[in-house]
């Protein structure tokens, strides 16, 4: 299971997040009668039902959360049947929850999904998944595209404020890492990969946060302020992705010498970074393209510096592939401080 935090911190958070979810879910039901009004306003303003879709999305997300929590409550006594069975049931719940979230979102916004590349089968050994991160929605893709795999997630600690991720995620071997925790975070990530068996894997977002053009500029400025000029120069070459934070990714590669490394690249989620962007209709009618590329772990370089170079080379390829998409967003303009 995930590394435990002090129980006082856990329940202080849940004392806020659980009632807030209950109020939100009830509010979405109470507001459903206003849906025709918002739909009419959208039609008059030519907004492609953006507000109505957003209201439906909030309702669906809130009740998926409620359903997930109720299911986790039902599963709690299964702990008496042993840890392995308990975790298997929670992996099944996680898969069902992800499918429900994606299925509702896809139908509400009319999203088309295209997948290129072979999906590794669970019997093929441990899997390390390196995924691009550009939206609140793309985190659903790994669980959706890799059915049967028992994935362990590297997640930001703030995501514990999502009640389902907090409760179910803490019952599974995931790593919730705090920003700036340094070696402690790397050790937690590394620990996820040390005991993987066939059908198990670890997923990490090497960029560490969602891409946006504004965030790209902030990252480059911060790297220069920290004196990390080489990484800043590399990041300045990338238009549509952030330079990967290599610490966690390299720790995973060092901890797991077997199996495969899977690159999960995607385009089409650009601009759908926040709830506000969903309200503005950023996902309506989007064509989401996904490319999967697998590399034998044993074929990767043995030296740490060479592995870092391998990761940067792959990230250049991800950037070029995203640039080929009609939905590509971003700019290779230098940060404001360097602009002439």
Contact 117, 292 (CB under 8 A): yes
- The arrangement of strands across the sheet holding 260-267 comes to 112-116, 287-296, 260-267, 127-131, 200-204, 150-156, 175-177
Contacts of 29 (CB under 8 A, 6+ apart): 59
Write down the pLDDT at residue 296: 95
- pLDDT tens-place string over residues 101-110: 999 999 999 9
Write down the pLDDT at residue 335: 45
Lowest mean pLDDT, pick from 3-12, 30-39, 278-287 = 3-12
Is position 131 within any domain?
A: yes
Instruction: Provide mean pLDDT across the span 49-56.
Output: 97
CA distance 97 to 68: 7
Instruction: Give 249 or 329, the one with higher predicted confidence.
Output: 249
Is position 165 within any domain?
A: yes
Lowest mean pLDDT, pick from 2-11, 185-194, 199-208, 227-236 = 2-11
Whose tokens are 């935090």? That residue is: 5
Contact 285, 110 (CB under 8 A): yes
Average pLDDT, the chain: 92
Is position 267 within any domain?
A: yes
Q: Which domain holds residue 294?
A: 7-338
Lowest mean pLDDT, pick from 70-74, 217-221, 311-315, 327-331 = 327-331
Write down the pLDDT at residue 6: 87
CA distance 87 to 207: 28
Is position 230 within any domain?
A: yes
Write down the pLDDT at residue 336: 46
Write down the pLDDT at residue 338: 40
Quick one: which of 57, 72, 61 has its CA closest to 14? 72
Whose tokens are 């028992």? That residue is: 150
- pLDDT at position 330 over 60: no
Contact 165, 172 (CB under 8 A): no
DSSP 282: T
Label residue 274 by pLDDT band (50, 70, 90).
confident
- pLDDT at position 304 over 50: yes
- Rounded to whole angstroms, what are the CA distances from 99 to 14, 41, 94? 25, 31, 9
Instruction: Give 332 or 140, the one with higher predicted confidence.
Output: 140
Instruction: Provide mean pLDDT across the span 197-226.
Output: 94
Write down the pLDDT at residue 181: 74
Give the burial class of 67: count Cβ atoms within 10 A of its Cβ; 0-12 exposed, 13-18 middle, 19 or more buried: middle
DSSP 41: H
Contact 126, 196 (CB under 8 A): yes
For every residue of 157-206, DSSP letters joined together read GGGGGSHHHHHHHHTSS-EEE-TT-THHHHHHHHHHTTT--TTEEEEE-T
CA distance 108 to 32: 15
- pLDDT at position 331 over 70: no
Is position 233 within any domain?
A: yes
The 3-state secondary structure of 81-130, one letter per residue = HCHHHHHHHHHHHHHHHHHHHHHHHHHHHCCEEEEECCCCCHHHCCEEEE
Is position 271 within any domain?
A: yes
Strand pairing report for 287-296 and 260-267: antiparallel
- What tokens does 17 get? 């997040």
CA distance 296 to 290: 20
- pLDDT at position 339 over 60: no
Contact 208, 132 (CB under 8 A): no
Instruction: Give 101 or 5, the one with higher predicted confidence.
Output: 101
Instruction: Give 115 or 273, the one with higher predicted confidence.
Output: 115
Contact 192, 252 (CB under 8 A): yes
Is position 1 within any domain?
A: no
Number of folded domains in the chain? 1
For every residue of 298-332, DSSP letters joined together read GGS-SSHHHHHHHHHHHHHHHHHHHHTSTT-----
Instruction: Provide mean pLDDT across the span 271-275.
Output: 83
Instruction: Provide mean pLDDT across the span 143-169.
Output: 95
Is position 2 within any domain?
A: no
For every residue of 258-279, DSSP letters joined together read SSEEEEEEEES-TT--SHHHHH
**104-139 burial, b for 16+ CB within 10 Å, e for fewer?**
bbbebbebebeeeeeebebeebbbbbbbbbbbbbbb
Instruction: Give 337 or 265, the one with higher predicted confidence.
Output: 265
């Amino acid at each position: 299971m995930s590394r435990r935090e002090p129980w006082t911190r856990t329940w202080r958070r849940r004392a806020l997040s659980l009632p807030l979810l209950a109020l939100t879910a009830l509010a979405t039901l109470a507001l459903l009668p206003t849906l025709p009004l918002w739909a009419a306003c959208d039609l008059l303003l030519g907004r492609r039902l953006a507000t109505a879709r957003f209201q439906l999305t909030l309702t669906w997300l809130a009740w998926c959360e409620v359903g997930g929590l109720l299911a986790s409550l039902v599963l709690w006594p299964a702990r008496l049947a042993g840890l392995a069975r308990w975790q298997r049931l929670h992996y099944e719940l996680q898969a069902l929850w992800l499918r429900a979230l994606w299925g509702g979102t896809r139908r509400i916004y009319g999203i088309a999904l295209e997948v290129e590349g072979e999906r590794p089968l669970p019997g093929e050994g441990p899997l390390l998944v390196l995924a691009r991160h550009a939206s609140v929605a793309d985190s659903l893709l790994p669980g959706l595209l890799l059915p049967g795999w028992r994935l362990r997630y590297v997640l930001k600690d703030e995501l514990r404020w999502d009640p389902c991720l907090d409760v179910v995620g803490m019952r599974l071997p995931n790593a919730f890492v705090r920003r700036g925790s340094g070696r402690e975070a790397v050790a937690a990530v590394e620990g996820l990969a040390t005991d993987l068996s066939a059908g198990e894997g670890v997923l990490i977002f090497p960029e560490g946060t969602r891409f946006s053009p504004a965030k790209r500029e902030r990252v480059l400025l911060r790297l220069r302020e920290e004196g990390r000029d080489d990484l800043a120069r590399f990041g300045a070459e990338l238009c549509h992705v952030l330079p990967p934070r290599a610490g966690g990714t390299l720790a995973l590669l060092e901890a797991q010498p077997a199996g495969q490394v899977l690159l999960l690249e995607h385009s089409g989620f650009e601009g759908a970074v926040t709830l506000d962007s969903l309200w503005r209709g950023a996902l309506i009618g989007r064509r989401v393209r996904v490319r999967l590329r697998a590399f034998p772990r044993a074929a990767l370089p043995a030296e740490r510096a060479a592995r870092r170079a391998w990761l940067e080379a792959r990230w250049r390829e991800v950037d070029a592939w995203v640039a080929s998409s009609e939905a590509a967003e971003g700019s290779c303009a230098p940060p404001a401080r360097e602009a002439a």
